Amino acid sequence: MIFARLRESLRNTREKLAGGLSRLFGLKRELDDAFLAELEAVLFAGDLGPAGRATIEQLRAEYRERKLKSSDDVRARLRALLRARLGATVPDLRRAASGPTVVLVVGVNGSGKTTSVAKLAKHCQRSGRTVMVVACDTFRAAAVEQLATWAERLDVPIVRKEAGADPAAVAFDGAEAALLQGIDVLIVDTAGRLHTRDDLMQELGKVRRVLDKKIPGAPHETLLVLDATTGQNAIRQAEVFTQVVPLTGVILAKLDGTAKGGAVVSIRERLGIPVRFAGVGEKPDDFEPFDPERFLDALLEDGGTAEQGDGAP
Amino acid sequence: MFESLSNALQRVFSKWGKDRLLTAENIRDGLEEIRKALLEADVHFEVAKSLTEQVTARAVGQEVIAAVKPAEQIVKLFSDVLTEAMHGEPPKLPVLPGQPAVVMMVGLQGSGKTTTTAKLARKLKRQGRRPLLVAADTRRPAAITQLQVLGKSLDIPVHAEEGPGNEERAPQICAAAVARAKKEGHDVVLLDTAGRLHIDAPLMDELARVEKLAAPHVTFLVCDSMAGQDAYASARDFHGKLRLDGVILTKLDGDTRGGAAISVKQVTGKPIVYIGTGERVEDLDDFHADRMASRILGMGDVVSLVEKAQEVVDEEEAAAAAERLLKAQFTLDDFLSQLRAIRKMGPLKGLLKMMPGQLGQAFEQANVQEKELGRVEAAILSMTPQERRNPGLLDANRRRRVARGSGNELSVVNQLIRQHEQMRDMMKRMQGGGMLGKLGKLFGGGGGDVGGLAGMGGAAGFPGFGGGGGGRAQQELLAQMQRGGGATEVKDPDEEARRRAARKREKEARKKNRKRR
Ligand SMILES: Nc1nc2c(ncn2[C@@H]2O[C@H](COP(=O)(O)OP(=O)(O)OP(=O)(O)O)[C@@H](O)[C@H]2O)c(=O)[nH]1
Ligand SMILES: Nc1nc2c(ncn2[C@@H]2O[C@H](COP(=O)(O)OP(=O)(O)OP(=O)(O)O)[C@@H](O)[C@H]2O)c(=O)[nH]1
Ligand SMILES: [Mg+2]
Ligand SMILES: [Mg+2]
């Protein structure tokens, strides 16, 4: 009985949101609290979490002060507030002044690191740079083989060791080979690790130190791969990872699904870590520089999780 | 990061008047706090709303129970509603004469299907079954090799058809594997399918064809516990396309609150059967709705934590440690051993982080010191035993002496003493019971299935809520685990008997409490 009620209310929201926010705005609606509450729901559906609530609070305050008069005002203002929260866009990968540019790719299990390494490799190849990848995930079954397959398909050299080898030792070999062969970009794949695992985080810190020792200033970029379907835990991930390996950016993977990845708003705002790239598929080409405007389009123009096909019981 | 739910409720309900009944009005703010907590735990916002409504419906008109505070009453109601919402009978894997039972694993990319397939196969093998693993992910690079490596490590055969041209043949490969299993006498077949997006129509169709050709008896949706609001839509669509029988929730070894669990259960109506608690093949546990409920509410996954500790520390030891702690004043010696324990704890820190509220904060504070532990240790060791027991003795002169003796700046010594005071006060506050202690009992009280819980909690209630008591004891225990087992310590037999008597009294009291409630 309770569940019937739940299902009913879920269906209602789905219908409400089905037309998406654009339609919501389109209706000549009264600007009331219910309207703002619905906006809040849209932001929640996009995993904005507390950042969403704070934004709505601000809208509500401005509405009470009569600064916002029409739903158009609200639309423009909401977008502007979120855009401000996302901060300035950051240009393409930094390059080392001389010698190899080193990119360290990190993240929790299964977020999309290895695939992102392949994507980054392709991205750099496009601008005519030589690339080498390093397989520092010596732990997960066939992680090395996975990267090796990509390396072969993209025709980039790979530095690898046997399963179970010390990741820092692989990183060392990679840095050495890149120096020796005059490689432009060295991309380092690492094992997935939950940020709560101190020992594994220390291991990551060691990889970073080894790179820095071999190539002073390396890694020039440390990118956290976040799964766009991840909720509020993404913020914790960024918080802890950046303590161990200071992050220069986020790759937001799996944006080709229906998840919006809204947690990155808090990550940008609180930790100052910008999203640099978006992963939009499983192929090396499914990769683009992060575009905040398109991110906001996706977040605001349709009704979040609710508008997808209907398989509800 | 977020204000803990206990703190928020304490704030909201601190002004409770003389109301004898719960009404929609007098619980509104409290419910709103809990709803917020659910959202922060990634429960789908509509599900959160509906659950809150259910709690309201149940709460309104109830009499305020004199023994507990309204906040506690409501948290209890919430915890009950969440537990009920997540409860479900797990599907049975049939034993069929001369024919294998087929299990299919499906889910989004990277959720943990391949790893979980191996974990499940291992579990079944240990139950005496003869599993065959099937590499039905013909797309992702090295997906087949990944399963083969896992199969080899478990000594479980893997059916794979490699090579170009097989990319599109997952359904046929699965059907062939079932036939092979029948021929070779495997009684269970596990299909590891490729990850896919719920909106990828061609790939979803492929899954439907696998379902048709291989006729799985049980289909599990493998879901990442860190998932946010989208877990709802993806689970809904997988369930719309296939006949799901259960859910496996992975990566719960992290610090995610795991609200996706409830969204997925609600939208599919299918029970969560197992949880993944690590990358190793042995890291698969049964799902417990009550524990998940307290985790989602931000009350910490303390029961699991206690269980973990229990694997290596016996109950008597645990009780003794807790009691020692409660009687002792929090001296600088304690401070030192606590800092040491924290440092030793290493990877277990993650477990402690799962504990809620102020204890987590106390821990974080102590952790800041971790880096300077060497210096702090030197300073404490430069003090006389009397000074360590009674830091009040440490006037300016003595502090200067300690600083000189330990090669520290005076400021380090001052800071150390200040921090110790802060921690001691915090411990005192937490031991004072109050909201935290009672909340703890609320959850701990129900946990009768966990034998040692009673012991661990000591008089302070629940470890982690009783705060100073349980938490500290836990740190000791965890430190002991790191050293590799129970502590050996010479015991005074009288002391021992007294402890046992005290514990018995405690147990009785708790039992009575439970009955009263
Ligand atoms: N749809 C989609 N899938 C992706 C994307 N990026 C990665 N994937 C898929 O997600 C799954 C996991 O990707 P991996 O690159 O293996 O992830 P990882 O972080 O290296 O995983 P571990 O090394 O095991 O921690 C694979 O099935 C990928 O094909 C993306 O942008 N979109
Ligand atoms: N910490 C932790 N890691 C896990 C757990 N389950 C799986 N993993 C890790 O998550 C990552 C992805 O696991 P896979 O089993 O490859 O996931 P999958 O769903 O098969 O991925 P695709 O086939 O690429 O879609 C790997 O790094 C696993 O080791 C778990 O319970 N805890
Ligand atoms: Mg990888
Ligand atoms: Mg897989």
Whole-Å CA distances, A133 to A153, A159, A173: 13, 6, 11
> A219: pLDDT confidence band, cut at 50, 70 and 90?
very high
pLDDT in the model for residue B181: 97
Residue B246: give its domain's CATH number: 3.40.50.300
Q: Helix, strand or coil for residue A210?
A: helix
pLDDT in the model for residue A120: 98
Query: B149 — contact with chain A (CB < 8 Å)?
Result: yes
Q: Are residues B156 and B16 in the same domain?
A: no
- Does B63 map to a domain? yes
Whole-Å CA distances, A23 to A7, A20, A72, B393: 23, 6, 12, 71
- Does B506 map to a domain? no
Q: Are residues B71 and B164 in the same domain?
A: no
Parallel/antiparallel/unpaired status of strands A249-253 and A221-227: parallel
Task: Give the residue from B254, B289, B324 where a domain finishes.
Answer: B289
Q: Are residues B199 and B261 in the same domain?
A: yes
- Residue B87: DSSP 8-state: -
- Does B299 map to a domain? no
pLDDT in the model for residue B22: 85
Q: Are residues B270 and B243 in the same domain?
A: yes
Task: Give the residue from B289, B316, B338 where a domain finishes.
Answer: B289
Per CB-CB distance under 8 Å, the chain A contacts of B40 are: 49-50, 232
Q: Are residues B336 and B402 in the same domain?
A: yes
- Does B424 map to a domain? yes
Query: B157 — contact with chain A (CB < 8 Å)?
Result: no
Q: Are residues B350 and B424 in the same domain?
A: yes
pLDDT in the model for residue B384: 87
Tokens of A274: 């910008």
pLDDT in the model for residue B493: 52
Q: Are residues B187 and B117 in the same domain?
A: yes
Asked whether residue A99 carries a pLDDT value surpassing 50, the answer given is yes
Whole-Å CA distances, A156 to A14, A152, A162, B320: 47, 6, 19, 61
Residue type, A51: A
Residue B196, burial from CB neighbour count under 10 angstroms (0-12, 13-18, 19+): buried
**What residues sit around ligand 3, an ion, with C-beta below 5 angstroms?**
A 113-114
pLDDT in the model for residue B498: 63
Q: Are residues B105 and B247 in the same domain?
A: yes
> Whose structure tokens read 């997906």?
B143
Residue B269 φ/ψ, nearest 5 degrees: 70, 5
Residue A130, burial from CB neighbour count under 10 angstroms (0-12, 13-18, 19+): middle
| Residue B47 to residue A10, Cβ atoms within 8 A | yes
Ligand 2 neighbour B170 (Cβ under 6 A): no
pLDDT in the model for residue B369: 43
Which residue has better confidence, B512 or A224? A224
Q: What is the mean pLDDT of residues A51-58?
A: 90
pLDDT in the model for residue B67: 53
Asked whether residue A243 carries a pLDDT value surpassing 90, the answer given is yes
> A39: pLDDT confidence band, cut at 50, 70 and 90?
confident
Whole-structure pTM value: 0.75
- Does B165 map to a domain? yes
Domain membership of residue B119 as a residue range: 101-289
Q: Are B160 and B135 in contact (CB under 8 A)?
A: yes
pLDDT tens sequence for chain B (517 residues): 345 666 677 777 777 777 778 888 888 888 888 888 899 999 999 999 999 999 999 888 887 765 566 777 787 788 889 999 999 999 999 999 989 999 999 999 999 999 999 999 999 999 999 999 999 999 999 999 999 999 999 999 999 998 888 889 999 999 999 999 999 999 999 999 999 999 999 999 999 999 999 999 999 999 999 999 999 999 999 999 999 999 999 999 999 999 999 999 999 999 999 999 999 999 999 999 988 998 898 764 433 444 444 343 334 444 444 444 444 456 777 666 655 544 444 333 444 444 434 444 444 444 444 456 667 778 888 888 888 888 888 999 999 999 988 888 888 888 888 877 766 665 555 454 333 333 233 223 222 222 222 222 222 222 222 223 333 334 443 333 333 333 233 345 565 566 666 656 555 544 544 443 3
pLDDT in the model for residue B507: 55
Specify the DSSP element, H or E, that contains A252: strand A249-253
Residue B337: give its domain's CATH number: 1.10.260.30
Q: Are residues B282 and B316 in the same domain?
A: no
- Does B517 map to a domain? no
Ligand 2 neighbour B316 (Cβ under 6 A): no
- How many Å apart are CA A108 and CA A116, to the nearest integer? 13
| Residue B256 to residue A231, Cβ atoms within 8 A | yes
Q: Are residues B112 and B240 in the same domain?
A: yes
Task: Give the residue from B61, B86, B111 where a domain finishes.
Answer: B86
- Does B80 map to a domain? yes
Give a three-class secondary structure readout of B162-198: CCCCCCCCHHHHHHHHHHHHHHHCCCEEEEEECCCCC
Minimum distance, in Å, between the CA of residue B35 and any CA atom of chain A: 12
ipTM, two decimals, is 0.88
pLDDT in the model for residue B469: 32
pLDDT in the model for residue A213: 97
Give the ligand whose atoms come closest to the C-alpha of residue B283.
Answer: 2
Q: Are residues B271 and B333 in the same domain?
A: no
Q: Are residues B175 and B209 in the same domain?
A: yes
Residue B59: give its domain's CATH number: 1.20.120.140
pLDDT in the model for residue B66: 57
DSSP one-letter string for B195-259 = P--TT-HHHHHHHHHHHHHH--SEEEEEEETTB-THHHHHHHHHHHHS---EEEEE-TTSS---T
Q: How many domains does chain B have?
A: 3
- Does B503 map to a domain? no
